[in-house]
Structure 1
Amino acid sequence: MCPLITVAPWKKSCQTASTATAEAPAQTRKHVDAEVQTEAPEPVSQQPVPQCDGPRLVAFLRRVEAMVTRELNKNWQSHAFDGFEVNWSEQQQTVTCLHTLGYPPAQGQGLHVTGVSWNTTGSVVACAYGRLDDGDWSTLKSFVCAWNLDRRGLNLQQPSAVVEVPSAVMCLAFHPTQPSHVAGGLYNGEVLVWDVSHPEDPLLWRTGLTDDAHTDPVCQVVWLPGPQHGHRFQVLSVAADGKVLLWLAVGAGRLQLSAGFALAVQQLPRSTKLKKPPRGETEVGATAVAFSSFDPSLFVLGTEGGFPLKCSLAAEEPALTRMPSSVPLRAPAQFTFSPHGGPVYSVSCSPFHRNLFLSAGTDGHVHLYSMLQAQPLTSLQLSHKYLFAVRWSPVRPLVFAAASGEGDVQLFDLQKSSQKPTVSIKQTQDESPVYCLEFNRQQTQLLAAGDAKGVVKVWQLSSEFTEQGPRETEDLDQLAAEVAT
């Protein structure tokens, strides 16, 4: 019998603040019951690890070793995949029209887009309105229009800036570093510079109609570094009067002639085959200009006679001309290339090779020349009508674009074909001429083209035109090396 043990209770107390409680009814509109049953997992069977037959494996490897080594050496010495690079980026396969720009008051007058230019940031495209067909357009009111494509609420029919001009504008070019400064050449021979960021008072400088000015319509304007390679820039202008003039901005809104050149028949290189000029006409009309990317003094002129000329800013020989001028005019021509079948409307120097340039003319051909020989390396017939513009791509060494009198913009990739365009874009549905085009050097997928309908179309190029392929520079060098000896 066990003794009875009594344990005294042990007590401890604590005190907390009173806890408030509340009750509230809740009701759901419907409820659903579901039952889920899982099956018991099956045990994972333990597979026996296969035993390796070591001696047979060693015998196999010894048997094939010589053959595998021989094939690896052959592959290592092969050049089949030289230059091959895998491109993992998604390819854009089409060329699309991004914007169709126009200014109804200019289009209502039947004005053509005679020039296009991108500003230094690549966000603004400007166009010149004028006329390129027959007629006296010297007193026709014209316009320079600019669109900021990065601006919110872009109005395709209302430019960001509109400059009214008292004479037809034949060409224009944005300043290399000032995003809002643009130079233009007029039908009456004047050269003007505007600031499109101040459309209420845009005129900065002008040449005026002096004895120094051109006496024929200005065909092209180009910005060049000023004397002594300072921060100042000068404007070079080319016209059908045979003069190439350099203008420097001075006080009181004036462009002053700083240097000049003139083309005289008697001073062209002997290789030139020209018809005897009519009595009293000794000047050769210039129609286009392009500067070398490798030699700042070297430039190519297109002429009314159809032959391109290699020229130099460093030429010292006086020009045989009686044209009035406040500075001595010099003879710039150094070499003459074989001619087109009609006037040359456009020239473009390669940005990737010092000796190559393109020319396009009224015979519908594009010629690819080397600076080292008179005959073209190749000649491509792109149109049965005129060709008005040709431009090298700024990013693809073997790509260029041309604008035709049949309403097309043609893109060539010489790596794919040396005879036919890679893409032919229909700019105008009624085959109205396309007069001008320019690549965007900052946003390299953009190409602007202007036409006889008064429209500027901004084309977005596919990636095949903006991404340089393997060995492309080497292929360009090989093309340039095909100079006749």
Structure 2
Amino acid sequence: MANVEAEIEALRREHSEKVKLIAEKRKQVEELKRQRADRPARRPGDRRPDGPRSVDELLSEVLRGTAGEGVAEGPLRELARERAAKSEWRTEMVSSEAVEPQENDSYEKAVQTESDQAQAPAKGDGGYIARMAERATRARAVQPDTSSMRRRFTAIDVQITPDTTVKEVEEPRAELSVEERDQIMAHPDFQSFFDRASLLVERTLGQEAWDIAADFTGGDAGGGDTDAERMKHMDDYVEKKWSQDRPVTDVRFSSRKELFLAAYGQRNNPSLSDPDGCMLVWNLSMNNRPEMAFTCQSAVHTAIFNRFDPTLFFGGTYAGGVVLWDARAQAGPVQRTPLSARGHSHPVMSMQQVGTQNATNLITASNDGRLCVWSLAMLSQPQEYIDLKHDQTRRELGVMSLSFPENETNVLYVGAEDGSVCQVHILGSKVGVTECYDGHDAPVTGIDMHPHGDASQHGVEAATDLALTSSFDWSIKLWMVKQYQSPVLSMDMFEDYVYDARWHPAHPAVFASVDGEGHVDLWNLNQDLEAPVVRCENPNQRKLALNRCHWSSDGRRLVTGDSEGRLS
């Protein structure tokens, strides 16, 4: 308390000195004003010697003999008056300039006093609280006038003890009524914000689940890895509203490693409000909520990402239409192909986008043998269409799947319902089926051409013509389509339908397959030509048929879809 009283007494002395100083300055200003007012009053009486004079003055000077002295004395008096005026003006300027710096100095003294107090060691909580109160009052007193100083002393004179506590006054918050809350929650802006915010939160919470991933590019280097280390089940992706009880008809990974899509057929026991088909875009971080959901009036058999626009998606439907979804628009298709003689009238089973960003086309095939080439800018009618027929029987070729070799836009290979694999030319002198390869005894469910982009780095020179096919005849066959008419390798160890087989995007000898018993098989042709090196099952032991599989672009993850809408 002694320190506080000493500080208060110092401030009071400082205040009294400032008041005296201000009073002296005011007196000086009043004196200068009075002198300035008197100078113009004296100037009319001081007549210049060369100015007009009265007759009486001239006669008095002649009679007294002082006319010459007056003439000589006039300039001296004028010079004296000018010097006096200059000296008075100089004094006035000095006085006016000295007023404001004194005020600034008084304000700076307060800052210096505060700095000295901050450097002094604190003695108890009372001194610290007093200094904080003094700083707050000085911050409010911007101009050092008398009223502000009085308010500052009033604030400092409060009795402060070490036991004093500062309590924050909380204003009572008004609670919303039920009607107001429902009105806010029903607003479209709030719903959009809430959906987006909850999506970000769920995505962030799910990031920790993907810290571990298998690297198949170097899995065979050690030779001692177990199946669990080479391939590990990470999570299941299912959503009750959209995907439950719907068969997965297609799965594709995006160029963005965390996104993949799945196409779904019709629900087993649909309600009136359920759409016939849907397509969901999933994020690896969220297993019970899709990133985006799109609907369709018909079951969706196949779907792909647009390679050059991540917001666009293409789908092929059971009704024979090709639809375009836009992530920036509503859930329904923004464009669809009409039923026409040039387009599809049967279910679209497979599609693929080929070309470059400035010259890209969409290739679709239906199970009636119709192959269409679409421009992405116009889906009203195809640019080209070809009716595929078997070169020997001349029967329609029911296409189940298609695949282009890498960097190829004219030649593709299709798998048919009769078990044949055919080479098809889109342009040129030979349009249509040019080669047929017989080897399967049942419909070919999937075909995949070897991604030979990195094959040369591993010493594989003939990878450009390698094709992998899966079939309902419980087998997978390997083809060299440019050299042989029959398969070069057949893997017949399955005990159920083989629905799909996909090459690994990085390792030239590795591929994955899925079958009707729910097995996910990982094959490495460098190690074993007759059996997979890894066989995995869903840990839930559901034993459901797996319809499709697809690798991520880096080859670190494999997604599969079963017959009840579950993705793994």
TM-score by length of 1: 0.64
User: Structure 2 vs 1, CA of residues 316 and 406 (structure 1 numbering), >3 Å: closer, same or farther?
Assistant: same
Deviation at 1:294, TM superposition (A): 4.8
CA distance in 1, matches of 2:323, 2:122: 87
1:127 matched to 2:127? The reply is no
User: Helix, strand or coil for the counterpart of 1:93?
Assistant: helix
Aligned to 1:192: 323
Deviation track 1:85-140 (CA, whole Å, cap 9, x = no partner) reads 998xx9992422223111212444x210110111222221110011599xxxxx96
Give the alignment partner of residue 367 of structure 1, picking from 477, 480, 502.
Answer: 477
1:445 matched to 2:545? The reply is no
Aligned to 2:142: none
1:158 matched to 2:285? The reply is no
1:130-149 equivalences under 5 Å are: 130=265, 141-149=276-284
CA distance in 2, matches of 1:180, 1:22: 64
User: Structure 2 vs 1, CA of residues 208 and 218 (structure 1 numbering), >3 Å: closer, same or farther?
Assistant: same
Aligned to 1:380: 491
Q: Is the contact between residue 501 and residue 511 of structure 2 (CA under 8 Å) also seen in structure 1?
A: yes
1:298 matched to 2:411? The reply is yes
1:351 matched to 2:451? The reply is yes
Percent identity, please.
22
Deviation at 1:286, TM superposition (A): 0.9
Aligned to 1:312: 425
Aligned to 1:239: 366
Aligned to 1:11: none
Give the alignment partner of residue 304 of structure 2, picking from 173, 176, 179.
Answer: 173
1:429 matched to 2:541? The reply is yes
User: Structure 2 vs 1, CA of residues 356 and 209 (structure 1 numbering), >3 Å: closer, same or farther?
Assistant: same
User: Structure 2 vs 1, CA of residues 98 and 21 (structure 1 numbering), >3 Å: closer, same or farther?
Assistant: closer
Aligned to 1:250: 377
1:103 matched to 2:228? The reply is no
Aligned to 1:116: 251
User: Helix, strand or coil for the counterpart of 2:233?
Assistant: strand
Compare CA radii of gyration and give the structure with the larger one: 2
Aligned to 1:264: 389
Deviation track 1:175-223 (CA, whole Å, cap 9, x = no partner) reads 112122211100001011212x336355343212222221221111111
What runs of 5+ residues in structure 2 fail to find an aligned partner? 1-119, 125-219, 269-273, 453-462
User: Helix, strand or coil for the counterpart of 2:328?
Assistant: coil
CA distance in 2, matches of 1:452, 1:260: 32
User: Helix, strand or coil for the counterpart of 1:354?
Assistant: helix
Higher RCO (CA 8 Å, separation ≥ 6 residues): 1
User: Helix, strand or coil for the counterpart of 1:415?
Assistant: coil
Aligned to 2:174: none
Deviation track 1:36-56 (CA, whole Å, cap 9, x = no partner) reads xxxxxxxxxxxxxxxxxxxxx
TM-score by length of 2: 0.55
User: Structure 2 vs 1, CA of residues 202 and 377 (structure 1 numbering), >3 Å: closer, same or farther?
Assistant: same
Deviation track 1:312-366 (CA, whole Å, cap 9, x = no partner) reads 222445xxxxxxxxxxxxx421111123010101001111211111111000111
User: Structure 2 vs 1, CA of residues 310 and 199 (structure 1 numbering), >3 Å: closer, same or farther?
Assistant: same
User: Structure 2 vs 1, CA of residues 86 and 188 (structure 1 numbering), >3 Å: closer, same or farther?
Assistant: closer
Q: CA RMSD in A?
A: 3.0
Give the alignment partner of residue 403 of structure 1, picking from 514, 524, 529.
Answer: 514
CA distance in 1, matches of 2:470, 2:536: 18
Return the structure number with greater strand share.
1
User: Helix, strand or coil for the counterpart of 1:173?
Assistant: strand
- Deviation beyond 3 Å, 4+ runs, structure 1: 20-24
Return the structure number with greater helix share.
2
| Structure 1, 355-364 or 94-103: larger mean CA deviation | 94-103
Deviation track 1:239-259 (CA, whole Å, cap 9, x = no partner) reads 1010111111336xx443011
Q: Is the contact between residue 385 and residue 406 of structure 1 (CA under 8 Å) also seen in structure 2?
A: yes
CA distance in 2, matches of 1:224, 1:181: 15
Q: Is the contact between residue 264 and residue 284 of structure 1 (CA under 8 Å) also seen in structure 2?
A: yes
1:373 is matched by which residue type in structure 2? Y
User: Structure 2 vs 1, CA of residues 363 and 107 (structure 1 numbering), >3 Å: closer, same or farther?
Assistant: same
What runs of 5+ residues in structure 1 fail to find an aligned partner? 1-19, 25-84, 134-138, 318-330, 458-485
